[in-house]
Structure 1
Amino acid sequence: MPTFPLRRIGAGLGAATATALAIVATTPLGVAAAPSPTHTAAARDAATWLAGEYVDGVLPGPFTPEDWGLSIDGVIALAATGVAGSTRQAATAQIAAHVRSYNSYDDWGIEGFTDGGATAKLLYVAAAAGADPTDFGGWDLRAETVALLSAAGTGHQRGRITSRTTEATGPDPSNTFDQSFAVLGLARSGGAPQETVDFLIQQQCTAGGFRLYPDVDGAPSPSCDTQANATLDVDSTAMAVQALLATDATGADEAAQRGADWLVAQQRADGSFGGSGPTSGANSNSTGLAGQALAAAGRDAGAARAAEALAALQLTTANGGAAAADAGAIAYASEALTEAVTDGIADTFRDQWRRATAQALLGLARVPLSRIGLDVPPSGEPTPSATVPPTPTGSPSPTGPPSPSVSPTPTTAPTHSPTPSASPSGTPPTPTTTPTPAASVTSPAAGPGRLPTTGAAIGGYVLTALLLLGGGAVLLVLGRRRAT
């Protein structure tokens, strides 16, 4: 009789231990770890420098006083770090007031064109900046994006984000970057249709990487594997991985994990990444996007190595030399850093530094695109509710050629400013009429869909707590037995 309570405690302890082990076994181990304090500080320094480059809420381009694609990249970077809330709000308001300056050729008197990738990116930044995507400067960007999806009856192109083109504007320039922003923006504003995710997955080859262009020789190509010698691109893969992790659509997680595995295999010994074609050399744009994607997919070791490579390209007051006044900025490549330390940042290269910094700091902050604006940035300010004009306003007079930037896009060589969203030479034209998209969605009608797991794994803590509680109970019973 005296041993019966002890047996019951032992049995309970065994059951509790088994339960804890089951929790550990089913708890995902690939959770994203927070960046080191050093890298968090480096990301904030980079964002602070970038915020100082804004003029009246706009980042200038190489040919115009305003570059809307780059200004959007800057807002994403500021939101990821929680830096310069007032600058972020002013920039968001300016972008909202100039939606058509970014996603059309209206400013140059060419009417009827709507860029699908730019529209999708606007949808994403509205959500990430804390604005209302259904009333962004008077535009319902979710409805606009959905209207630009290829409808049922378009075969293997179903779900593709397309541009509304005219005879004067030429073929549709949409690519895998654009598709990723479509999935991200739709997931963040109510749910991404399965067919939109399916089209993105079609751009993934068996090896795991994603190609940049869905078109081959002037015609839509059914899938990456049907294209002979398809060029797999680090930047496109990084964007696709993050987009797929933002949705719970069928096949999304498996494709994202294969993409992350491919990225790990592309990482160089020093932690850096290169793009494809003219950007195949190690550069901070590709490293920033890839590092951010690895963090989103729970590949923490690779993400940390990428952050180290990025930190090595950052100007500081200690290493900046002639460019010490630009401390925080991140160079595109080591050659640009060396030149800046010796001679300062020349005006002709300042645009390159802005573009490099905007994307590179994402690999230092390691906040996934699907979480920007939802999670409080490390040691930063929460994303403020953006105040944007209720209706579209007039656009400024154009000062450059009709080529609105649709970024972040394939990185460019360090000798010139990036050319956003360059379209393939033979992309087929899309119908001038708006396709009717399929209405089915795989995510709930509200909410951002399935997002990557963040925070610390709790299985080990649960097991430890249960073992401590059970052990304490046994000792208590044994103590009472001795007392009697």
Structure 2
Amino acid sequence: MPPPVPSGAFTDRSAKGTPLPTFALRRVGAVTATALVVLAATPLGVGAAPSPTHAVAARDAATWLAGEYADGVLPGPFTPEDWGLSIDGVIALTAAGVAGATRQAATAQIAAHVRSYNSYDDWGIEGFTDGGATAKLLYVASAAGADPTDFGGWDLRAETLTLLSGTGTGHQHGRITSRTTEATGPDPSNTFDQSFAVLGLARSGGTPQEAVDFLIRQQCTAGGFRLYPDADGAPSASCDAQGNATLDVDSTAMAVQALLAAGATAADEAAQRGADWLVAQQRADGSFGGSGPTSGANSNSTGLAGQALAAAGRDAEAARAAAALAALQLTAANAGAAAADAGAIAYASDALTEAVRDGIAENFRDQWRRATAQALLGLAQIPLGRIGLDLPPSGEPTASPTGPPTPTAPPSPTRSPTPTAVPTLTVSPTPSTSPTGGPTPSAVPSTPTPTPTVTAPTPTSSATSPAAGGPGRLPTTGVAIGGYVLTALLLLGGGAVLLVLGRRRAT
């Protein structure tokens, strides 16, 4: 059986008038000191928010995409539901901050169909678990504000950790792998899968260093990352060890964002070298192309690369990528025959021209859904490690996205041609023989969590708030430092007042 392929291309109340006892004053001092420690630990590098025009474009794109959902699901080219694309949509809608009800419905549907996405159970082939799909589920659960340790009954963090290649596997140590059987063929995991694993683990409690190290080994000396960690049918030790390695914009963009979220040894340096390589690949009009059949300029590659550049603090290049994406968007002013689909983003300029002339034909809507879901990430410019944590762009000229200094942390993205050949963040396990339907399997508890060395302690998860992550060393988060300065000053001032009052009371 051939490996699965992607289907195309994240109140406070205080008593008034009540004297504070001495222990309360000591508590105020402790809180003040803690605030100063948090302030000192907060990265000072704050990246620029997207322009108001591009923020509005991101919201328009997300609004159109939300309208393509039916009962919380986006359809595929051959099926009424495409779980990988539906996940991409949730990530996109969360980044843009629109259609909350649609996001909730989609998240619930995805949680109810975990095994429909990361296995072949629906096709009657048992025993297979797709590592990249599992890692992407872990990521979207965290980004959507769900509990990744109980997502549809699955502990996705524990499951992802069990799928990391363990000690004794040499240069494969730390690789996200699939649980395969003789019927399912070899492990199909790639650099997209590894990036999602690093992102998801970073956002749910911390990433083992070996997972980060494996991702870094997929980077060549030039700075770019390869998509496939295997060469000549066998795992290769590193990108440089593969003499004919093809460096890929999409894979590099994913890896850069994962490394920035990891907060692990050597991760930041590798991420910045990857960003340097991306800058060198940017075309004169701001666009990017992928590799192989997607090497032409396209909105999928441009969206991911622009998002990664914003995450790495390359604001000028990220803005140029956003401008290239905006040029591919249908608007009320330019949509022509596709006026009903204003907001959607074309995969390439020829698709835009055709839609303006003839509208979006039904057999091409799948391409537009995939292109829009990935492209708007480059317009919103919130890193994958921060989606669901930072406030989305408002589109208002005076707005400045702010968010908590919460550390952070996308199956996977092998690109496979659909009828429209659009690369995507999506991958849906699809056996070579596809029955017309299958029962929805019930969730089964995952295997116990292994105990690799993790870079950060696991926080308590919450089903109503994004999972906390590791150290989260993203240089571009859109977080304004002024809020933390003001908070610290208020705490200091309050502590001083309470101290004076306490002394007067003692006197």
TM-score interval, normalised by the smaller of the two chains = 0.7 to 0.9
- Which of 466, 470, 473 pairs up with 1:449? 470
1:191 corresponds, among 177, 187, 206, to 206
Give the TM-score of the pair, scaled to structure 1: 0.79
Match of 1:388 in 2: none
For 2:448 and 2:147, the matched residues in 1 are separated by 24
**Residue of structure 1 aligned with 2:309, choices 263, 281, 294:** 294
Partners of 1:148 and 1:437 within 8 A in 2: no
Sort the Cα spacing of 1:79 and 1:455 in 2 relative to 1 into closer, same or farther, 3 A.
closer
2:373 aligned with 1:361, yes or no?
A: no
Give 1:449's aligned amino acid. Answer: G
Distance 1:50 1:455, change over 3 A: closer
Whether the 8 Å contact between 2:158 and 2:448 is mirrored in structure 1 is no
Q: 1:29 to 1:272 in 2, by over 3 A?
A: farther
Cα deviation, residue 449, structure 1 = 1.5
Is 2:359 aligned against 1:344?
yes
| Residue 408 of structure 1, CA deviation | 4.1
| 1:111 match: secondary structure | coil
Q: Give the C-alpha shift of residue 413 in structure 1.
A: 8.2
Residues 1:30 and 1:281: Cα distance change in structure 2 (over 3 Å): farther
2:415 to 398, 405, 410: 410
Q: Is the 8 A contact 2:338 2:359 kept in 1?
A: yes
Q: Name which of 209, 225, 229 aligns with 2:240.
A: 225
Matching residue of 2:120: 105
The answer to whether the 8 Å contact 1:159/1:437 transfers is no
Shift of 1:376: 1.4
Offset at residue 438 of structure 1 (A): 5.2
CA distance in 2, matches of 1:27, 1:141: 29
Matches within 5 A, 1:30-69: 31-69=46-84
Give the C-alpha shift of residue 437 in structure 1. Answer: 5.2
Q: Using the alignment, how far apart are the partners of 1:159 and 1:187 within structure 2?
A: 14
Q: Amino acid of the residue matched to residue 245 of structure 2?
A: A
Q: Give, as a single letter, the amino acid of the residue that structure 2 aligns with 1:448.
A: G
**Residue number among 328, 337, 359 corresponding to 1:313 in the alignment:** 328
Q: Unmatched 5+ residue regions in structure 1?
A: 1-25, 383-404, 424-433, 463-484
Q: Distance in 2 between matches of 1:102 and 1:438?
A: 26
For 1:249-328, what aligned pairs fall within 5 Å after superposition? 249-328=264-343
The answer to whether the Cα contact below 8 Å between 1:42 and 1:364 also exists between their aligned partners in 2 is yes
Relative to structure 1, is the Cα distance of residues 162 and 322 closer, same or farther in structure 2, using a 3 angstrom cutoff?
A: same
- Which entry has the higher C-alpha Rg, 1 or 2? 1
Structure 1 residues 414 and 113, CA gap change in structure 2 (3 angstroms): closer
* Aligned-partner residue type, residue 415 of structure 2: P
1:410 Cα deviation from its structure 2 partner: 3.4
For the Cα contact (< 8 Å) 1:266–1:273, is it kept in 2? yes
Structure 2, unmatched stretches of 5+, are: 1-40, 396-400, 402-409, 430-446, 460-467, 486-507
The separation in 1 between residues aligned to 2:416 and 2:60, in whole angstroms, is 22
Aligned residue for 1:154? Answer: 169
**CA shift in 2, pair 1:285/1:210, >3 Å:** same
CA distance in 2, matches of 1:130, 1:458: 24
Per-residue deviation, 1:444: 3.2
**Range that drifts further, 410-419 or 250-259:** 410-419
Q: Secondary structure at the match of 1:246?
A: helix
Query: How many residues in Structure 1 have an aligned counterpart in Structure 2?
Result: 405
Match of 1:174 among 186, 189, 205: 189
Shift in Å, 1:411: 7.4
In 1, are the aligned partners of 2:134 and 2:411 still within 8 Å (CA)?
A: no
Alignment partners' CA distance in 1, 2:137 and 2:175: 17
Deviations 1:133-155 (A, max 9, x none): 00000000000000100000000
RMSD: 2.6
Q: Which amino acid aligns with 2:241?
A: T
Mapped contact 1:76–1:372 kept (Cα < 8 A):
yes
Match of 1:116 in 2: 131
Deviation at residue 412 of structure 1 after TM alignment: 5.1
The alignment status of 1:245 with 2:260, answered yes or no, reads: yes
Q: Report if aligned partners of 2:347, 2:422 keep a CA contact under 8 Å in 1.
A: no
Distance of 2:107 and 2:336 partners within structure 1: 34
Measured against aligned partners, the alpha-carbon deviations of 1:341-375 in whole angstroms (never above 9, x if no partner) come to 00100111100000000000000000000000111
Secondary structure at the residue paired with 2:95?
helix
- 2:469 partner letter: P
* CA deviation after TM superposition for structure 1 residue 439, in Å: 1.4
Task: For 2:413 and 2:336, locate their aligned partners in 1 and report how far apart those are by CA, in whole Å.
Answer: 29
Instruction: Quote the Cα distance in structure 2 between the aligned partners of 1:49 and 1:376.
Output: 20
Name the CA shift for 1:410/1:32 in 2 (closer, same or farther; >3 Å).
farther
Match 1:88 to one of 103, 106, 110? 103
Which of 208, 213, 221 aligns to 1:206? It is 221
Task: Give CA deviations for 1:408-443 in whole Å, capped at 9, x if unaligned.
Answer: 4437588445585599xxxxxxxxxx9995510112
Q: Is 2:157 the partner of 1:142?
A: yes
How far apart, in 2, do the equivalents of 1:300 and 1:410 lie? 27
Q: Secondary structure at the match of 1:169?
A: coil
Distance 1:266 1:195 in 2: 29
- Asked if the contact 1:50/1:74 (under 8 Å) is kept, the reply is yes
Cα shift readout 1:259-311 (whole Å, capped 9, x = no counterpart): 00000000000000000000000000000000000000000000000000000
Shifted more, 232-241 versus 370-379: the winner is: 370-379
Name the aligned partner's letter for residue 52 of structure 1: G
What percentage of residue pairs aligned between the two structures are identical?
Answer: 85
Looking at structure 1, the residues matched to 449 and 182 of structure 2 have their Cα atoms a distance apart, in angstroms, of: 21
CA distance in 1, matches of 2:135, 2:279: 28
Change (3 A) 1:58 1:415: closer
